[in-house]
Structure 1
Amino acid sequence: MKTVLQNVRIETDYLKNAGFTYGTKTKKVAITFEDGVITAVSDSEESFDPKSAIIDGKNALVLPQLREMHVHFDKSKLGIPWYPVEPADSLVQRFTKEFEYLESAPLSFEERMKNLIELELAHGVTHFRSHIDIHPKVGQRYLESAQKVLSAYTDKLDYELVAFPQHGLLLSDAYDEMKTALRNGATLVGGVDPVSLDQNLALSLNQTFELATQFNVPMDLHIHERGDNARAFFSKLLELTKEANWQNKVTISHAYGLRDLAGTEQDELFSALAENGITIISSIPLNFVIPPLTKLKAAGVKTFIGCDNIYDCWSPFGNGDVMDKLNRYAEIFDQLSQEELTESLELVTGQKALALDGWLKVGMAANFTLVNADSTAEFVARKIPVSASYFNGKQVK
């Protein structure tokens, strides 16, 4: 059956006066969708087939699908009584303690993962990229459990699963398990600090690229390397990206070391990242290691935001709201103008929210978000709750 979402607004242009942008121009539209696909975007006052299901959007602003681009389905402690983060002297000790805790957690993997998904769905997210730990001690169990849970959410969200060697690709001898995970449905290759954790930059990255090219999948590497280690990493990464023709298929999460660069060195590296389509994802940490995201964006580097830790063995914080993270980004980087706030939404949607002819197009999946805000800028700055979200034409929130 055709469904028509009437009485909703899309942004088409900025409103300006004497060079100052004070708002956005919107127009009312009706969105017709069938079988999960948009079939028409028309004037909201038109007459429609009486057999169609008509939904009153109540003058809400329509925005693109919200995306959670960095989460860990297998790590959350949501639903477990409060238990603080245990001290750890090193990264190795941290993930060793985490593994021991999760293996004996008083709530099943499936229940904890469902709690995390439901929390994010309530905030309007309908796309997830989750990293799933893969190493010999756990084998494929976490991946299989995640896939089992996700099978019950096919009408509410889409997802990407990263085979993630949290304990080090080389350090935990995870290469064979990673291959199995990619055969079993993981859609990206992950990785962690090839210098400071794996202790062999060339071998670790070479094996990572071998996995990616063998299975023809993108990669998303967690890189906390600093200073000269970061310099060496990005140099080798760019070399291998070019050799493998893996442009537009590489993501670096965290990328703390980019903060350690300055001047022409930073300019040259950012230009190379943009030229090779390398994406940077940040969880907007409240400390000095956050990469210079506005400079990366200005250089043409694609950037995204994700929640990462949501009450787990690494952090007691996290509310599962990517818009809260985006608001933090805007405040930290002094994104005050109508234009800056509007354009920042792309960090959690991957899509521009303002276009002269509207961003909604016939043939697109009927995935969108409704908010009771005057503009995208107000939505971002004032942390206005999502009023409704649609996935493949079905209302999720």
Structure 2
Amino acid sequence: MKTLLTNIRIETGYLTQDNFTYGTATKEIAIIFDAGVVTDVLDDEVKINKAKLTQNIIVIDGQNNLLLPQLREMHVHFDKSKLGIPWTPIEPVQNRIERFEKEFDYLKKAPLSFTQRMENLLNLELSYGVTHFRSHIDIHPAVGQKSLEAAKKVLENYHDKLDYELVAFPQHGLLLSNAFSEMKSALQNGATLVGGVDPISIDGNLEKSLNQTFELATQFNAPIDYHLHERHHDARQTFAKFLSLIEETNWQGKVTISHAYGLRDLPKEERKELFAQLAKNKVTIISSISLDFVIPPLIELKSAGVKTFIGNDNIYDCWSPFGSGDVMDKLNRYAEIFDLTSQKELTESLELVTNQKLITPAGWIKEGMPADFTLVNASSTAEFVARRIPVAKSYFKGQQVK
């Protein structure tokens, strides 16, 4: 049945006086959606009133809330969460390989099932308004396809609340754990992206590790989302190899690098040249906005035309006791760290968790779009980001989730 959502606002432009942008202009609209798709966008009072009289239409009052796009969680780990387990601090380790091993041992014996832990994570993020998830799922011989199968089973019960992407993630090293065969199975079994981690410091063979990663990607026509913590010269070499393979395989627009700490280590002129190449090859950078001073230079990347996103990553797991599960907390932290205080900067920052440009004269929402959106009791997007205003309601395929 058709639904009419009335009394909502969208931003259409910036309000400026004496070269100072002090707010955004908004206009009242209504939208009609049916079968999960926006069928009409109405900004005329006569048309809105006429729509209200249509037979067999559900009318919902949007209570003068601001209409914003779907919130997206672009980096999470469904299989790692300890949510619901009584407090345990993080065990000290000597290196990341030891961390992998301790985590694997802990999760095998965790006092709460995979299903319950993953549901706790999903429910937490849904409560904050997120309705799109990209999750990495560990794939290696010791775990096989168990985590992927368990995640898919949980997601069947959330089909009407969210959409998702699953990354086959050889966390213990594609080469180090001999995971190539399991990765193939995962990509045949529902994973939609190819993951990877540190071809030098974990796998110990840059050429072989990335060649196998791209072999998987091209064989299954799957995008790549790769965890890269390499620093200094190792980062330089790794990015050069990535760009070479992207151009060789025509994988432009299909590669994401998560973390990308090493970009911070490169000299300014080298960064400028590399960032231009990343933009040319449509490489995406995703950051979890960590507070250990290795955040990549996201503002420089964005200015160079590199698409950037934000994700939560750790939400109380064997790697970190922190993480609220609210992606808007991460965006607020990003804005504060990079001193984004203007109306325009704060507004544009929302693209990092929506992948949607907001300010256009006609408004961002169009007929034919999925009916996935967010309602916020804020005067503007900038206020929503800066003041951490809670999401009032979220919709997925036209159904209210929050």
TM-score, structure 1 length as denominator? 0.99
What corresponds to 1:330 in structure 2?
A: 335
2-structure distance, mates of 1:218, 1:36: 26
What corresponds to 1:92 in structure 2?
A: 97
Kept after mapping to 2: 8 A contact 1:70/1:307: yes
Question: Among residues 154, 166, 180, which one is paired with 1:175 in the alignment?
Answer: 180
Task: Please show how residues 1-397 of structure 1 align to structure 2 within 5 Å.
Answer: 1-43=1-43, 45=45, 46=48, 47-48=50-51, 49-397=54-402
**1:64-106 CA deviation, whole Å, 9 max, x = no partner?**
0000000000000000000111001011000100000000000
Counterpart amino acid of 2:29?
V
Counterpart amino acid of 2:63?
K
1-structure distance, mates of 2:268, 2:150: 47
1-structure distance, mates of 2:109, 2:384: 41
Counterpart amino acid of 1:303?
T
Counterpart amino acid of 1:169?
L
Gaps of 5+ in 2: none
Counterpart amino acid of 2:225?
D
Which deviates more from structure 2 when the two are superposed, residues 212-221 or residues 46-55? 46-55
Counterpart amino acid of 2:344?
E
2-structure distance, mates of 1:50, 1:341: 41
Deviation at 1:44, TM superposition (A): 6.1
2-structure distance, mates of 1:221, 1:2: 41
Which deviates more from structure 2 when the two are superposed, residues 338-347 or residues 50-59? 50-59
SS in 1 for 2:184: helix
What is the RMSD of the two structures over their aligned residues, measured on CA atoms? 0.6
2-structure distance, mates of 1:333, 1:361: 32
2-structure distance, mates of 1:243, 1:186: 24
Percent of residue pairs bearing the same amino acid type: 70
SS in 1 for 2:393: strand
1-structure distance, mates of 2:8, 2:316: 36
Counterpart amino acid of 1:350?
N
Deviation at 1:262, TM superposition (A): 1.9
Deviation at 1:43, TM superposition (A): 2.3
Counterpart amino acid of 1:52?
I
1-structure distance, mates of 2:31, 2:256: 33
Counterpart amino acid of 1:294?
I
Counterpart amino acid of 2:362?
D
2-structure distance, mates of 1:170, 1:145: 25
2-structure distance, mates of 1:269, 1:207: 23
**1:200-254 CA deviation, whole Å, 9 max, x = no partner?**
0000000000000000010000000000000000000000000000000000000
Q: From the superposition, tell whether residues 161 and 332 of structure 1 become closer, same or farther in structure 2 (CA, over 3 Å).
A: same
Counterpart amino acid of 1:7?
N
2-structure distance, mates of 1:238, 1:168: 21
Deviation at 1:29, TM superposition (A): 0.4
SS in 2 for 1:159: strand
Counterpart amino acid of 2:77?
H
**1:336-370 CA deviation, whole Å, 9 max, x = no partner?**
00000000000000111221111101000000000
Kept after mapping to 2: 8 A contact 1:120/1:321: yes
SS in 1 for 2:219: helix
Counterpart amino acid of 2:11?
E
1-structure distance, mates of 2:142, 2:217: 22
Kept after mapping to 2: 8 A contact 1:7/1:44: no
Which deviates more from structure 2 when the two are superposed, residues 204-213 or residues 47-56? 47-56
Counterpart amino acid of 1:351?
Q
SS in 1 for 2:144: coil
1-structure distance, mates of 2:267, 2:395: 43
2-structure distance, mates of 1:328, 1:340: 14
Provide the aligned length of Structure 1 versus Structure 2.
397
SS in 2 for 1:345: helix
Counterpart amino acid of 2:82?
K
